[in-house]
Structure 1
Amino acid sequence: MSTPTDELTREIVGLFAAVNRRYTQESEAAAAAHDLTPLHAKALLAAEEPVPMRRIAERLHAEPSNVTVIIDRLESRGLVERSPDPGDRRVKLVAATTAGRAVAADLRTRMPFAAEPLARLTTPQRESLHELLQLILDA
């Protein structure tokens, strides 16, 4: 027998799935329009300003060594370039080229939900959601 709490939990989990599905579909379609994978598109968006590769890895929730392959592909397409960090020459910065910034701008246009899925929430609502999701993860 199902209790109201069980039904509410199922609805909430269903909403998580629906948000994820919408995010995924929108970002896949936007990336495909530029012959990119969603991961490549996310890396390009992360590199709109010069950024260390490790920061891109953090944004992608990936190992830095795996990000190298992604950046290699974007670089071969002329969408990003690497340069030494003037403050620490051991660090490589990745930055979108002019062509990369144009693609990034188009990606943002094609994925308004994926680019800003919490746009309709106020700051206090976002803070509450953050706290609640952290509670779930910490359980």
Structure 2
Amino acid sequence: MPRTPAPKPAPETPDPKGSDPTHVQLLERLARAAAGYYRDLAAAAAVQGLTMTQAKMLILLRQPLPMRALAGLLACDASNITGLVDRLEAHGLVSRHLDPADRRIKNVVATDKGLEAVRVIRADMRASSAAFNRLDDEGRRSLYELLGRLHPDEAV
């Protein structure tokens, strides 16, 4: 039986001669890294009885944030935020407070219990920790700086 020739590499496969990666290659690698992070986050959140989105919200609450800002950061409709906050509030993980500067705005604040949940979730994210442990201090600083340059207006 004749042998089928090996398929040609997809255009996004890096050139073996060491050429610079294309935008597509960079995005694919970034997407794979993000997918690994989100798998790790979802598993750690589930141990705490949370969804990945609930965990993401808690992680964002390093400071009080208006509900509308949370919707933007989580890339979801503002109407979804109310339900998320309701569920987290029912578990004692967040509370709502009127903004002292504008009492029409409700800020969401992580409670001590919510901050502890974030600490435990981060500690349970072993795969992500192992990935970052493969980088030395300079590598982590460089990665942090480079990622910040991709979307500088979206820094949290």
| Shorter-chain TM-score range | 0.7 to 0.9
Misfit runs of 4+, over 6 Å: 116-119
The structure, 1 or 2, with the larger RCO (C-alpha pairs under 8 Å, 6+ apart) is: 1
Give the structure with higher Rg (CA). Answer: 2
Q: Note closer, same or farther for the CA distance 1:86–1:32 as it changes in structure 2 (3 Å cut).
A: same
- Aligned counterpart for 1:62 among listed residues 65, 69, 76: 76
TM-score scaled by structure 1? Answer: 0.75
Q: Which runs of 5+ in 1 are unaligned?
A: 132-139
Q: Secondary structure at the match of 2:13?
A: helix
Aligned partner of 1:48 among 59, 62, 75: 62
Partner of 1:82: 96
Q: How far apart are 1:64 and its partner, in Å?
A: 1.2
1:137 corresponding residue in structure 2: none
- Aligned residues of 1:52 and 1:93 also touching (Cα < 8 A): yes
TM-score under structure 2 normalisation? 0.68
Change (3 A) 1:58 1:99: same
RMSD: 3.3
Deviation for aligned residue 1:91: 0.1
Cross-structure match for 2:124: 110
Q: Which amino acid in 1 is paired with 2:140? A: R
Per the alignment, in what secondary structure is the counterpart of residue 90 of structure 1? coil
Amino acid aligned to 2:150: H
Give the counterpart of 1:31 among 13, 35, 45: 45
1:120 aligns with 2:151: no
Q: CA deviation at 1:2?
A: 3.3
